[in-house]
Structure 1
Amino acid sequence: MFGITPLGWVHTLGSLPAIPLAAYMFARHGQIMPRSVAGIAYLVFMLIGAGTVFLIAHQPVSYGIGSATILLLIAGYGVGGITILGRARRYLETAFLSLTTFLLMVPTVTEILRRVPDGHPLVTDLKSPLLLGSQAALVVMLVLGLTAQFITLRRQGRSIPG
């Protein structure tokens, strides 16, 4: 179904839960919360997706996205413990983890448009206006989302005495 191999299904179904987890955390907290239950689950599912991409990838860009995702996850989940960075660590954590969601959504949207409906996909060309428009919308959402997150962090920083 959809031209996906069994290993491809492991990759797809392994990373799929990260999408509603990210949506929940963005809606509830305005950011990925790495030290929450949802944040730990997000990390696990993202690592499954990013790790298995190396086994199924057909395009060199897929290796780059997988590698970047893993590096951003490590940085995003680790930067909170680097106290020397002060307030900057909250901004870095937010940026790194928001970028992981972006790197999840770009191939997800691309693959959905290239595979659905089964046998007659909406997009057959990587230069399709629908695909390029969808990817551009993701970039706009990333920029607007990061801007909103940084404004919120700045406001929270002002309300903390010290």
Structure 2
Amino acid sequence: MFGLTPLGTVHTAISLVALAAGVIALFRYREIPPSAALGQTYIWATVLTCLTGFGIFQHGGFGAPHALGIITLIVLAIAAVAGRTQVFGRASRYVETLAYSTTLFFHMIPGLTETFTRLPTGAPLFSSPEDPALQKAVGVCFLLLVIGCVLQVRRLRAGHPVWNARRSHQ
């Protein structure tokens, strides 16, 4: 279906779970909290998305999507370390929050590329990964990331309570 291999189909399904969990968490909590069920779902589905992506070679060998998977795993690890330690000092909370948000943006790059170079069937929205219109769409997502990160920093600086799994969300 849509030119996907069986692994590609599983990879896509997992990535959609991650994407949904991340977006819902951002709207509900204004961040992706790793202590919440949605945050855990997002993190583990993102890890699985990266790992299953390493086995997909639609365009030859190791390429930019694989590099993005490695970068995503590194950023997830940085977020986890920031959340569990004070290795970044007072900035740890900011690093954690912004890193998880950044990984959601990373989902959008292959998501837009793979979806809209295939759909609608027979007349895809974008002709290739290099299509200027696709680059603009990724640019809009990046702009949304920057705006979201600014809002998250402002919220953290204002001293709004951090979401905690032991209390109800705000």
The structure where helix makes up a greater share of residues is: 1
User: In the alignment, which of 128, 136, 148 is matched to residue 131 of structure 2?
Assistant: 128
RMSD: 1.7
The residue aligned with 2:167 is none
* Matched-pair contact (CA < 8 Å) for 2:15–2:46: yes
Distance 1:114 1:98 in 2: 25
Give, as a single letter, the amino acid of the residue that structure 2 aligns with 1:65. Answer: L
Shift of 1:48: 1.0
The residue aligned with 2:76 is 73
Distance 1:14 1:116 in 2: 19
Deviates more, 1:58-67 or 1:138-147: 58-67
The residue aligned with 2:10 is 10
Shift of 1:157: 6.7
Count of residue pairs the alignment pairs up: 158
Deviations 1:32-68 (A, max 9, x none): 1011111111111101101111100336101110001
**Which blocks of at least 5 consecutive residues in structure 2 are unaligned?**
162-170
4+ long deviations beyond 4 Å: none
User: In the alignment, which of 96, 105, 118 is matched to residue 108 of structure 2?
Assistant: 105
* Matched-pair contact (CA < 8 Å) for 1:73–1:100: yes
Shift of 1:87: 2.9
Shift of 1:2: 0.9
Deviations 1:67-106 (A, max 9, x none): 0111111121221121354431110001111111011111
Relative to structure 1, the CA distance from residue 84 to residue 73 in structure 2 (aligned partners, 3 Å threshold; closer, same or farther) is: closer
* Matched-pair contact (CA < 8 Å) for 2:98–2:149: yes
SS of residue in 2 equivalent to 1:34: coil
> Quick check: 1:20 aligned with 2:20?
yes
Indicate the percent of aligned positions where both proteins have the same amino acid: 34
TM-score, normalisation: structure 1: 0.90
* Matched-pair contact (CA < 8 Å) for 2:21–2:42: yes
Give, as a single letter, the amino acid of the residue that structure 1 aligns with 2:14. Answer: G
Distance 1:3 1:34 in 2: 34
The residue aligned with 1:34 is 34
